[in-house]
Structure 1
Amino acid sequence: MQNRNLLAVNVLVTLGYPLPSIRKALHKLTGITQPELASRLGISRPTVTATMDGTRGSAEVKSAIADMFEVPVDVLFKPDHASPEA
């Protein structure tokens, strides 16, 4: 059985939401803020922000964030697909 975070991510992916928006939604779903996530992982908040936005982030940081949200790293940080045509 999937945990609720993974289920939510999979539903949002299916609906076509971009991964940066899905990653941001996890903060609301879990109640874990970016500053709290940074503190728990021992990294800076700007690093968390940039990783969650998809602008940068090492494999180690991505893996740690995915673990914190209990979502596989390859689901949470796979390359973004092109936005659906309107």
Structure 2
Amino acid sequence: MNAKPEDRATSFFAQPGILAAVIGGAVVGLLCAILVVMFIVYRMRKKDEGSYALDEPKRSPAAASYGKGHNNREFYA
């Protein structure tokens, strides 16, 4: 009845219920890690979509089309 520590660890993982729980936990942990990485990538892409430079002065299209210029022709649609 003098069991070695290696024998006890081997018999611990040899039980089908314990082995299934360890494998299931590893699979669930891996899926959670993948979901977290996908969420981080999604947030980074979403943040980049609406970004624009704040340093550049914005010109409105109306001010550019009716400003001073040498081309004063009218266009009819």
TM-score range, shorter chain: under 0.3
Which one scores higher on RCO, CA 8 angstroms, separation ≥ 6? Answer: 1
Structure whose alpha-carbon radius of gyration is higher: 2
